[in-house]
Amino acid sequence: MAILSHILGFPRIGLHRELKKALESYWTGKLNEQKLFAVGRQLRERHWQQQQDTGIDLLSVGDFAWYDHVLTTSLMVNNIPVRHRLCQEDDNIDFNMLFRIARGCNQDGKSIPASDMTKWFNTNYHYIVPELTYNQQFKLKWIQLLDEVDEALALGYKIKPILLGPLTYLWLGKVQGKKFNKLSLLKSLLSVYREILKKLADKGITWVQIDEPILVLELSNEWQEAFYNAYFELKDQVQILLTTYFDTIDHQINVIRELPVQGVHVDCTIKGSNLDLVNKKIPSCWLLSAGIINGRNIWRSDLYSCFKKLSVLVKDRIIWLGSSCSLLHSPVDLCTENNLDEKIKNCFSFSVQKCMELAMLCTALNKIDNIEFQDILKHYSSLNDLQLNSHFVHDKCLAKRLEKMIAVEFCSQRSSYKIRSKIQQKYLKLPILPTTTIGSLPQTEGIRKIRLDFKSGNMDIIQYESNIKQYIKEAVIEQENLDLDVLVHGEIERNDMVEYFAERLSGFVFTQNGWVQSYGSRCVKPPIIIGDISRKNNECMIVKWISYAQSITNKPVKGILTGPITILHWSFVREDVSRKNIALQISLAIRDEVSDLENCGISIIQIDEPALREGLPLKKSCWSEYLSWATKVFRICISGVKDETQIHTHMCYSKFNDIIDAIVALDVDVITIESSRSNMELLEVFKKSDYFNEIGPGIYDIHSPHVPSEECFIHRLHKMLNYISIERLWVNPDCGLKTRSWLEVRESLRNMVLAAKKIRGSFIKKY
């Protein structure tokens, strides 16, 4: 039987971020619903045609989402939070409902708390967390998948619909109100899945991809048993490809082999992946889908090595070739990159190219005795060569310095927090409940135009720096008028918190259109690590901007840096060096910048590590090794810092109970976190732990345009004080403000400061 190619999903955003632009136009009232829908349809049709043109056999349907595929699944099963259902008179689900759940507001002006948002496994993609309530009932409601199947079939494509699996959906969900076992909802949920599969079968669909990535986790016996019960209920409708990704499934193979499904997809790009074991263990009648092309990185595949690995399997079993995971995590098309050096460009492969790689590999395996096709694979693979012994890729001086730094790092510890805090209190003279922001301030059209003009050569450096300083001055004045206690310079010069630093470090290259979706309309353009990393010419990266901001105010200004773990995880990384070694290289560069900031009189330095938890291995048994080196990397950044210099860090959307010991090990003076969307539940872990340093929980959700009132802030502060003593509590938004307007920010921060002052005043009167 012929080997077929497929992918687990294609990017939704469009080559030129058409979906992002359409969504934002719709949210601001510049685009109506019909035109937004038309943009989505055009993108889907283009993406299906691109897959077919590259030679993919089974096209993916169900990978498109207006905001997030988990939210789409919630709508499909009619899982609508009560507060959002009460916002309208009927029970219809429409764009207003969808975007209100995701954003907390929509085009009709109604505003209500959004659902929680968190990271999709260990990626930088975010999903909208399903809200689960005791004894709730599901039913089929939002039929986007069925409509899109009809679209693709009408165009004559051979397709494979995609569903997020019922067990993974419940696992990702969050219990609201009365505590209960999430698996108690499985029976009702399965009735919807059965109905969907029946409708797909009626349309002539033979195979359905059901994603159950939680199978790579170390599940309890209860969840393992639930898999058999669930898939027994779903059998006999269509043929099911049980799909896993992001890690190995060897530990679950005895569970998987007993399931009443017809095939399994395995991520073959993960270290330790054992395709031979899976092949031997699963029933001989099953289809085996090999995720042989890496969907999470951008390097050209070694197709000849893949060919040799797979050629021994194709004689004994039905084989499909696929991407390791959805190509959602990869840019769209390398062909638009005109500024990359050709030798470097030849090493890369984006989504369209990955589809081509699958088709090439499929052809060679289907004609396994044809040497000509094997030669084609050899030639293709040979182009992936960055001359790995060159000075550009391997810096011997850096290696020696790093070795020395690792040896002395623990000999240069700062004093204990208890000692440092007294010194800092005397030096900084901050009030209780100090107010601040996370870092970035609104990025206006004017700011973006200045950066673009400078980058494109239409503005000289003198004019550029003058303009940036003017915007920094305006940002400082705004904050002083709001009476914030600790100021920021606004990150006016930064297009992105990772890319800005990467541009000032050796070892990185950058794309023009290498965008990937982070959440909703938010896209990021990860830099690519191709060599050893250090500051270019040992030049400072942010000192001149922070020093200028500090020179025009008497209040402390934070010097804000992106940490090494976040730069690592939010970049496409080289694969010839361990992630640990890459992070250690970055930590030296950040340490140099911290030292320069301190020498210039900056008394508060913030090293953002929003991706610390994101880097955790999916299997808990592997956590300790990662956290050990990740915390060591961070401490190198701050080794040698004076006691009077206050060190902050910021973290996003993390389950801190998982990493509280690592947070303690970082030994920062202040941690600011995102906790507003989780209704402050994240703070429970700090109450229960021995973490005594200072904490700034995010007091409001910046991802929503909703402006909280002063009374709302007061209520939230009182709630925070149930977990954190007033001497340790900072007051700040939950994230940077670059995506918001000054109109929103000004009002929100004013109310935040007024609330902090009121509670501060009450405390002083009381004591």
Catalytic residue set: 703
Under 8 Å between Cβ of 7 and 323: yes
For residue 470, what are the CA distances in angstroms to 157, 473, 544, 548, 596? 56, 5, 14, 10, 23
Kind plus residue range of the DSSP H or E element containing 566: helix 564-569
What is the Rg, in whole angstroms, of the alpha carbon atoms belonging to the chain? 26
**DSSP assignments along 720-756, one per residue:** HTTTS-GGGB-BB-SS--TTS-HHHHHHHHHHHHHHH
Q: Identify which of 663, 643, 641 has the alpha carbon closest to the alpha carbon of residue 651.
A: 663
Q: Identify which of 290, 402, 427, 301 has the alpha carbon closest to the alpha carbon of residue 636.
A: 402
Joined together, the tokens standing for residue 311 give 């050629």
Joined together, the tokens standing for residue 135 give 């004894």
How far is 295 from 315, CA to CA, in rounded Å? 26
The residues facing 322 across adjacent strands are 291
CA 309 to chain CA centroid, Å, is 31
The residues facing 697 across adjacent strands are 673
Q: Quickly list H helices, 130-247.
A: 144-154, 166-172, 186-202, 221-234
List the Cα angle 157/163/164 in 5-degree steps: 150
How far is 188 from 75, CA to CA, in rounded Å? 15
How far is 522 from 364, CA to CA, in rounded Å? 39
**DSSP assignments along 494-547, one per residue:** -SSTTHHHHTTBTTEE--SS--EEEETTEEE---EE-S---BGGG--SSHHHHH
Chain position carrying tokens 């040979």: 382
Q: Identify which of 516, 519, 353 has the alpha carbon closest to the alpha carbon of residue 11.
A: 516
